């Protein structure tokens, strides 16, 4: 047994190495193949209201299991997809899949929002807003069921053009939040200019709560800044009850993290959480 395990550990290690050693070209090719053969999947991680412990939405997270590379983390392949540009096609696939899934749940009578990660290059496409409008229309999905997670890097590029685009999205009725807030290069001035409705505090600030003094200071400041600007605020990466209780004491609005659930396939999510969409979520 030990020998067998050693062997599979080695194979796992080899697989992990592979993506590091493979050229960008090869990974780019593998990603294009995966798109063509429909090998990407979306998983869904519950988002919970802190005050009543209710599930109100999910974040759609991309998953890719390649036959040679194994399960590849989006933290590894998304940056490469951004460099080579294939993120635009992947992002379109994600948007259409998320909207289709949201429409299905909507038709079944569940009140649930789906948050979709958007990358900078995708946001810059001239038909970005039009594509979303059309996909929402075709799926007959109320636009406020979709929330776009934008990173600070998107917002700092061409401020005037970004503002126009965000206003068009807001008019359409989709919600927008700033993902990984606090980790990017950004000026706070955009918070008052851009029609966003939520800040997502990056996991790196949540991880060491409530023990780390600096993280306490940063998280406290982000939450009061958000509330002063009438924005909602969500903490990502909440893994234990101490973190949850601490965030509750700071009046954080929403939570996401392994304390509740990791990202699940659509069918796992439907079994475990969808029946609870209108009820309190069980905590571990
Ligand atoms: P993100 O948007 O900040 O997503 C949250 C990440 O934190 C997810 O990692 C999620 O699985 C993880 N997470 C959530 N709760 C916990 C927790 O309690 N503990 C820990 N350790 N981790 C937690 P994931 O799925 O590996 O995604 C990594 C990043 O890849 C995402 O970070 C996002 O930047 C990017 N990404 C994922 N899917 C997409 C996509 O469809 N499009 C784009 N453009 N980027 C995506
Ligand atoms: Mg996100
Ligand atoms: Mg995030
Ligand atoms: Mg993050």
Over the stretch 33-86, which tens digit does the pLDDT of each residue have?
A: 999 999 999 999 999 999 998 999 999 999 999 988 889 999 999 999 999 999
For residues 145-157, average pLDDT: 91
CA of 201 to the centre of ligand 4 (A): 8
Q: Which atom of ligand 1 is nearest to the CA of 73?
A: 26
Look at residue 164 and tell me whether its pLDDT is greater than 60.
yes
Confidence of residue 157 (pLDDT cuts 50, 70, 90): confident
CA of 87 to the centre of ligand 1 (A): 15
CA of 172 to the centre of ligand 4 (A): 26
Look at residue 21 and tell me whether its pLDDT is greater than 80.
no
Q: Is 180 in the pocket of ligand 1 (CB under 6 A)?
A: yes
Q: Are the CB atoms for 98 and 42 separated by under 8 Å?
A: yes
Q: Is 179 in the pocket of ligand 1 (CB under 6 A)?
A: yes
Q: What DSSP element (H or E) covers 228?
A: helix 213-228
Q: Is 120 in the pocket of ligand 1 (CB under 6 A)?
A: no
Q: Are the CB atoms for 98 and 60 separated by under 8 Å?
A: yes
For residues 157-181, average pLDDT: 95
So what's the pLDDT on residue 141? 98
Look at residue 20 and tell me whether its pLDDT is greater than 90.
no
So what's the pLDDT on residue 158? 85
Least trusted range by pLDDT, from 4-8, 30-34, 55-59, 153-157: 4-8
Look at residue 5 and tell me whether its pLDDT is greater than 90.
no
Share of the chain above pLDDT 90, in %: 75
- Alpha-carbon distance of 269 to 81, in angstroms, equals 27
> What's the chain's average pLDDT?
90
From the list 121, 95, 99, 91, the residue with the least C-alpha distance to 31 is 91
Q: Is 72 in the pocket of ligand 1 (CB under 6 A)?
A: no
For residues 173-191, average pLDDT: 89
Give the start-end residues of each E strand in the chain. Answer: 40-49, 55-66, 70-72, 113-117, 146-151, 175-181, 198-201, 232-235, 254-255
Phi, psi of 58 (to 5 degrees): -140, 155
Tens of pLDDT, residues 98-128:
999 999 999 999 999 999 999 999 999 999 9
Q: Is 78 in the pocket of ligand 1 (CB under 6 A)?
A: yes
Q: Is 117 in the pocket of ligand 1 (CB under 6 A)?
A: yes
Q: Of the spans 148-162, 229-243, 264-278, which averages the highest pLDDT?
A: 229-243
Q: What is the ipTM of this complex?
A: 0.98
Q: Within a 13 Å sphere around the CA of 64, how many CA atoms are in the beta-carbon half?
A: 26
- Alpha-carbon distance of 192 to 231, in angstroms, equals 10
So what's the pLDDT on residue 42? 98
CA of 204 to the centre of ligand 3 (A): 10
* Top mutation candidate among 48, 203, 254 for ligand 1, by most atoms within 8 Å of CB: 203
- Alpha-carbon distance of 142 to 128, in angstroms, equals 18
Q: What is the largest CA-CA distance in the chain?
A: 62
CA of 2 to the centre of ligand 4 (A): 36
Look at residue 278 and tell me whether its pLDDT is greater than 70.
no
Q: Compute how many other C-beta atoms are within 10 angstroms of the C-beta atom of residue 185.
A: 7
Q: Which positions ≥6 away from 10 have C-beta within 8 Å?
A: none
Phi, psi of 130 (to 5 degrees): -60, -45
Residue with more model confidence, 247 or 2: 247
The sign one gets for the Cα dihedral 265, 268, 270, 272 is negative
Q: Which atom of ligand 1 is nearest to the CA of 256?
A: 15
From the list 245, 237, 260, the residue with the least C-alpha distance to 210 is 245
So what's the pLDDT on residue 3? 47
pTM, two decimal places: 0.92
So what's the pLDDT on residue 18? 52
Name the residue with the closest Cα to ligand 1, atom 4: 61
From the list 147, 143, 125, the residue with the least C-alpha distance to 134 is 143
- Alpha-carbon distance of 144 to 56, in angstroms, equals 12
Q: Which atom of ligand 1 is nearest to the CA of 258?
A: 18
Lookup: tokens for 188: 């706070």
Q: Is 119 in the pocket of ligand 1 (CB under 6 A)?
A: yes
Q: Are the CB atoms for 232 and 197 separated by under 8 Å?
A: yes
- Alpha-carbon distance of 218 to 256, in angstroms, equals 18
CA of 24 to the centre of ligand 3 (A): 25
- Alpha-carbon distance of 53 to 40, in angstroms, equals 31
């Amino acid at each position: 047994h030990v020998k067998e395990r050693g062997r599979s550990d080695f194979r796992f290690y080899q697989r992990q190495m592979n993506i590091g050693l493979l050229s960008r070209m090869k990974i780019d090719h593998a990603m294009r193949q995966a798109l063509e053969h429909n090998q990407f999947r979306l998983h869904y991680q519950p988002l919970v209201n802190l005050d009543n412990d209710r599930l109100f939405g999910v974040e759609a997270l991309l998953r890719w299991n390649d036959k040679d590379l194994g399960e590849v983390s989006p933290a590894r392949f998304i940056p490469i997809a951004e460099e080579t540009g294939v993120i635009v096609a992947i992002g379109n696939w994600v948007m259409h899949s998320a909207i289709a899934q949201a429409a299905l749940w909507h038709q079944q009578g569940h009140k649930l929002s789906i948050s979709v990660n958007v990358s900078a290059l995708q946001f810059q496409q001239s038909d970005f807003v039009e594509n979303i409008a059309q996909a929402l229309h075709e799926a007959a999905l109320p636009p406020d069921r979709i929330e776009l997670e934008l990173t600070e890097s998107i917002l700092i590029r061409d401020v005037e053009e970004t503002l126009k685009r965000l206003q068009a999205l807001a008019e359409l009725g989709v919600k927008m939040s700033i993902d990984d807030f606090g980790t990017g290069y950004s000026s706070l001035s955009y918070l008052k200019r851009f029609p966003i409705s939520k800040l997502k505090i990056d996991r790196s600030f949540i991880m060491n709560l409530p023990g780390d003094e600096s993280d306490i200071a940063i998280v406290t400041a982000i939450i009061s800044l958000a509330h002063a600007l009438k924005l909602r605020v969500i903490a990502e990466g909440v893994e234990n009850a101490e973190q949850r209780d601490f965030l509750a004491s700071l009046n954080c609005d929403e939570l996401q993290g392994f304390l509740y659930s990791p990202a699940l396939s659509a069918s796992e999510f439907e079994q475990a959480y969808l029946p609870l969409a209108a009820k309190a979520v069980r905590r571990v």
